[in-house]
Structure 1
């Protein structure tokens, strides 16, 4: 069966300058975007169960503006006021500037990277001065920042401020697509939670990353496209190879 429509289980890119749109034009296929999960802010009561007191940490690491909003919302609910001497390490400049919504922006207290993990670690190493770090994050997240801090033997804690919740899916909508691409194990879990007796039938599936790949297989589903791979380090390249090869 020829692939005519592909569903990417991620948010739609903000601009048309995206390799998925190039892929759609090249192969004359429909590419649409719909996350199978979303992040929901936890309550102050739920946060307290972690036994983390924000004032015990004098450095925070932010990777998104939504994390900034949720963190300071929790601080208000917990009646916690951050010290004016606290430092903030941000993934991007836009996140750093967004902090002005909640704090007095001080150049020697707010630092930002270039949007990459390496850029973030570089500013942490450059400006760190014995701080105790807190990483506001979701219950399901990459461990790269924590692994870096642990390797450097920096004192830190992960503060869960979001929980991952599956979105409500309609099977009739899912069946419009010939191929669905997953990027996280939680996306696969969301599919199975919505449809416990889901039958794959002719639907083809793609997975990015070893954990997502394993989640697809553990769910008893057949995997058709896997990335990264030697010939396809990105999912768009893997899709391009698959569509170009006309593999059924």
Structure 2
């Protein structure tokens, strides 16, 4: 299959809010058009769904925050339920980035906040050992891995898991078309969302690129052709492999 010349690339992520992105450099370098359009979005559970979990947030003395998305959805739910977090609440965060993000919702210097230096839950070992009697709440997405929960169990900590958000398809409007020469995927859920929106999708001479082995596997399982993939030893980022791909594609 001979690929068409790529002039329009759909990147299935939100457009960077800070105005900076290596993709912008590619746009100038190759004179291409970029569309930032996430195929998936995060949706918080409703207050009614949360109540069905029979969890009272103020029964807990500590919250385990595994991502900024968890922070956003936790405090959004608290706001809807008119729950004000007490100053005594402790926050155990997976990274310093997540810990600092709490400033969006609470006065940071007045709170007991702990974070992992490694970006892994094990980096909170000292904090959990010191505060082993806390009653912990762990906000998680509907589809989550068990790594954090297995660790908390191994440490014999008292914790409760609460599903507070989920990833859903970011649907196209009726009659909206897929106007691109190349699609870039970043998750298996993004591939599934494309299929949901365009069940009759045929790749043809359109190029497809992706980030991550799990995403690559789903694309190949669909029988689609994968034209560029990251990370690799040579191209650790999506922008780098896209640069190499476009150099070859636009030669033709």
TM-score range normalised by the length of the shorter chain: 0.7 to 0.9
Alignment length (residue pairs): 239
Contact 2:89 2:111 in 1 (8 A): no
Q: What's the TM-score, normalizing by structure 1?
A: 0.79
Measure, in 1, the Cα distance between the counterparts of 2:151 and 2:244.
34
Measure, in 2, the Cα distance between the counterparts of 1:43 and 1:171.
26
Partner of residue 166 from structure 2, selected from 139, 160, 163:
163
Deviation at 1:197, TM superposition (A): 1.8
Residue in structure 2 matched with residue 38 of structure 1 by the alignment:
41
Residue in structure 1 matched with residue 75 of structure 2 by the alignment:
69
Measure, in 2, the Cα distance between the counterparts of 1:6 and 1:176.
9
Residue in structure 2 matched with residue 95 of structure 1 by the alignment:
101
Query: Per the alignment, do residues 50 and 31 of structure 1 end up closer, same or farther by CA in structure 2, a change over 3 Å counting?
Result: same
Consecutive unaligned residues in structure 2, runs of 5 or more: none
Residue in structure 2 matched with residue 58 of structure 1 by the alignment:
61
Q: What's the TM-score, normalizing by structure 2?
A: 0.78
Measure, in 1, the Cα distance between the counterparts of 2:11 and 2:75.
27
Consecutive unaligned residues in structure 1, runs of 5 or more: none
Query: Per the alignment, do residues 140 and 73 of structure 1 end up closer, same or farther by CA in structure 2, a change over 3 Å counting?
Result: farther
Q: Identify which range, 23-32 or 9-18, moves more after superposition.
A: 23-32
Deviation at 1:190, TM superposition (A): 0.7
Deviation at 1:174, TM superposition (A): 4.9
Deviation at 1:73, TM superposition (A): 3.8
Deviation at 1:188, TM superposition (A): 0.7
Query: Per the alignment, do residues 237 and 150 of structure 1 end up closer, same or farther by CA in structure 2, a change over 3 Å counting?
Result: farther
**Structure 2 counterpart SS, 1:163:** strand
Contact 1:205 1:225 in 2 (8 A): yes
1 or 2 for the larger relative contact order (CA 8 Å, sep ≥6)? Answer: 2
Residue in structure 1 matched with residue 227 of structure 2 by the alignment:
224
**Structure 2 counterpart SS, 1:117:** coil
1:15 paired with 2:21, answer no
Residue in structure 2 matched with residue 127 of structure 1 by the alignment:
127
Contact 1:59 1:133 in 2 (8 A): yes
